[in-house]
Structure 1
Amino acid sequence: MRRFALLVGVVAVLFAAGGVTAHAADTGFQVKLAAAQHQLDQEQQGGVPAEALSPLRDKLHGIEQARFGPVPAGWLPYGSPSAQIDAVIREARAVWDRTIAQDRPLAAASLQALAQADPNLQAATKASYQQRIDRADSPAVLVQLASELRDKANFATAARKSVSDLQPKRDALAAAIEKAKGRGLQVDAAQKAVADYDALAALPADQIGQRPAAVGQAIDAETASLGGRQTLADLQTKRDALAALIVKAKAKNIAVDDAQKAVAAYDALKDLPPDQAGQQAPAVGGSIDAQSASLQKKIKAADTPPPPATGGCLADLSAGHVIIIHLATQHLDAYDNGCLFMSIPITSGRPALPTDQGTFHVFYKTTNYKMISPWPKGSPYWYPTTMVPHVMEFVSDGTFLHDAPWEPDSAYGPGSQNAGYSSHGCVHVPSYAINKLYDWVQIGDTVISQP
């Protein structure tokens, strides 16, 4: 009996000791489980997507449920829940590392997009962003940085567009400046507007701000001002020519009231702001052209007997001087009161810049004229500034009859508009004929350019 009691006591002691051991193991399990769950929470807060951590949370839940089995968790000899939790922790760290490895190139790509959107991005700024990408130690930091860079790239795109939208206006003003220089006009303010645009275009996007609006307004204002002054300068020559015709017409008792009104209308333009004068100039210029042509014809009619009906003259041509340009054959015929005065080969505009067709009148002529290319250097149409001995302008876009000392006499004639000496729209006259033609041509003479 005593042996049985002793045996019972031993068994009781063993069970008590086992219970204490199981309780301690269970407490350690709970601590490690909580630590693993906390790590998953921290990784999710650090930017790891919840879906990437979801399988690991499921594993922890399964491990926790296993502790309610018939054998206490701490008694398992191998593959214990503690070891399984350690495995989950290692997997979590691997997920963290993979996420950072995936997000870092995305942030770098966003930086590259910013650099492409803003060619003027400062090197120091780009290097600073790259350093932040390299040092980022969590997915959340990389995701936030990528978002920041994308926003800056979008901002840079919009800012640069606000500048590039002004480029055509800037280029047009620059071309107008070069033309105005040839007329001796003041261009300082216009040049400043162009320079301000160029300085703006060189800025990093984050320094552009509201500047394009002010620069654009300055370009518009200078374009209008320069255009008005250019128009007035062009009209001045026509106005002076008409005034000279009025003097001749009065001497021949020809009525000049309408012509005098046209001259007075031009003189009134000079009292207006350049932009307003430019708006009214086309109508005034049209009136001057019409009155010049009318007086020229009346003066010629008074000075010249009726053209003969025979003898090589063309009775259907109007009195006075008429120049006919035959573009197809590259030939020019000049008629004086219907009779042929001169017949010469010419070279007209190349296919890309053909000579205008229609009926025009010579409104400007001079010697030693400086021709300045309206196209910028680098354009296939650019040419160096050139002094031309004789010019006669008959189209207001800058189309002249003029000599071309650089073109040999043998190059003129049929097909020359397609060859190496073709013009930018003007009509080249051989050097041997230019003096005779220039001395003969008068302001108001008719020029017919036809196929």
Structure 2
Amino acid sequence: TGNYTINGNTFQIPRETIMDWLSYKDGNTTIDEDKVRSYVTSIGQQYNTSTNSSTFKSTKQGEVTVPAGTLSWTIQTDAETEALIEALKAGEDFTRTPIAQGSTDAGSPLFGNTYIEVDLKNQHMWYYKDGQLVLETAIISGKPATPTPTGVFYVWNKEEDATLTGEDYASPVDYWMPIDWTGVGIHDSDWQTEYGGDLWKTRGSHGCINTPPGVMKELYSKAEVGTPVIVI
């Protein structure tokens, strides 16, 4: 039997599917590479976290669907087709994780019970570690013209004393945690005097998550690089 482990779940390649890939002639078995590639393509279309959304149990909104973001992977079709054929030729039972490219491994769940949740609807952020709430705070997200994107992101860097620049601004911050590839991240914002509610509509950011300085200092010290950031 041939099995795949993807996103923390293991499933069997249907036996009839494998039999369809094989042909016998003059005592030799050949494997139809095009059929195998077609199958690998189909599991990519079904499971690639770079294009498929994820289901997330949020703190206040219940179960929600979150678009793909920077925390994702894509099955490498050619490399995986070759590897799968080699596994089949070995003639032994196998369980494999597909060869994938991205910011995380294809075998494990995309996120577990350690993550930062940013709820744009409620203008609130939570940090959970091993399922336990470490901190929470009201925030201010992107203004209507430059909204904070939703998606499954991750803290890919941490930087102190950074200056965030754009076409028409340069904002020095003490703590900076970028989460996507376009310049969106979580940072302190000493220019904001209050947080939450509808303030994002009038005093919102260029897309970043403005966080009270004291809370940001604590989040920065406790959340590690690689922590998933789920923005809903």
Q: TM-score range by the shorter chain?
A: 0.5 to 0.7
Partner of 1:412: 195
Partner of 2:52: none
- Matched to 1:396, the amino acid is W
Conservation of the 8 A alpha-carbon contact between 1:329 and 1:415: no
Match of 1:289 among 103, 121, 145: 103
Distance 2:107 2:158 in 1: 19
Q: Deviations over 1:252-307 (max 9, x none)?
A: xxxxxxxxxxxxxxxxxxxxxxxxxxxxxxxxxx835114x989x8xxxxxxxxxx
Distance 2:102 2:152 in 1: 16
**What pairs with 1:338-357 in structure 2 (closer than 5 Å)?**
338-357=131-150
Match of 1:436 among 191, 214, 218: 218
Residue identity over aligned pairs, in percent, reads: 29
- Matched to 1:359, the amino acid is V
Distance 1:397 1:324 in 2: 19
1:361 aligns with 2:154: yes
Relative to 1, partners in 2 of residues 1:370 and 1:294: Cα closer, same or farther, differing over 3 Å? farther
Distance 1:354 1:390 in 2: 21
Structure 1 gap segments, 5+ residues each: 1-285, 298-316, 376-381
Match of 1:389 among 156, 167, 174: 174
1:318 aligns with 2:112: yes
Q: Deviations over 1:343-398 (max 9, x none)?
A: 1000000001000101111101100112121x2xxxxxx22x22211000111111
Q: Could you say which structure has the greater relative contact order, defined with CA pairs below 8 angstroms and 6 or more residues apart?
A: 2
Q: Deviations over 1:295-336 (max 9, x none)?
A: 9x8xxxxxxxxxxxxxxxxxxx724x2111110110011111
**What pairs with 1:177-196 in structure 2 (closer than 5 Å)?**
none
1:419 deviates by 2.1
- Matched to 2:178, the amino acid is E
SS at match of 1:437: helix
Partner of 1:402: 187
Conservation of the 8 A alpha-carbon contact between 1:389 and 1:403: yes
Partner of 2:231: 449
**What pairs with 1:128-167 in structure 2 (closer than 5 Å)?**
none
Distance 1:439 1:287 in 2: 29
**What pairs with 1:23-42 in structure 2 (closer than 5 Å)?**
none
SS at match of 2:217: helix
- Runs of 4+ in structure 1 deviating by more than 2 angstroms, as ranges, are none
Conservation of the 8 A alpha-carbon contact between 1:366 and 1:390: yes
SS at match of 1:371: strand
Structure with greater Cα Rg: 1
Higher share in helix: 1
Partner of 1:281: none
Q: What root-mean-square deviation, in Å, do the aligned CA atoms of Structure 1 and Structure 2 show?
A: 2.1
Partner of 1:154: none
Conservation of the 8 A alpha-carbon contact between 1:330 and 1:414: yes
Distance 1:288 1:367 in 2: 26
Distance 1:343 1:331 in 2: 7
Partner of 1:202: none
Conservation of the 8 A alpha-carbon contact between 1:331 and 1:414: no
Distance 2:124 2:215 in 1: 13
Relative to 1, partners in 2 of residues 1:294 and 1:399: Cα closer, same or farther, differing over 3 Å? farther
Question: How many residues of Structure 1 are paired with residues of Structure 2 in the alignment?
Answer: 132
1:341 deviates by 1.1
SS at match of 1:395: coil
Structure 2 gap segments, 5+ residues each: 1-99
TM-score with structure 1 length normalisation? 0.28
SS at match of 1:423: coil
TM-score with structure 2 length normalisation? 0.53
Conservation of the 8 A alpha-carbon contact between 1:391 and 1:400: yes
Conservation of the 8 A alpha-carbon contact between 1:391 and 1:403: yes
SS at match of 1:398: coil
SS at match of 2:179: strand
Distance 1:431 1:413 in 2: 14
Partner of 2:29: none
SS at match of 1:419: helix
- Matched to 1:352, the amino acid is A
- Matched to 1:388, the amino acid is V
**What pairs with 1:189-208 in structure 2 (closer than 5 Å)?**
none
Relative to 1, partners in 2 of residues 1:294 and 1:438: Cα closer, same or farther, differing over 3 Å? farther
Partner of 2:42: none
Relative to 1, partners in 2 of residues 1:359 and 1:368: Cα closer, same or farther, differing over 3 Å? same
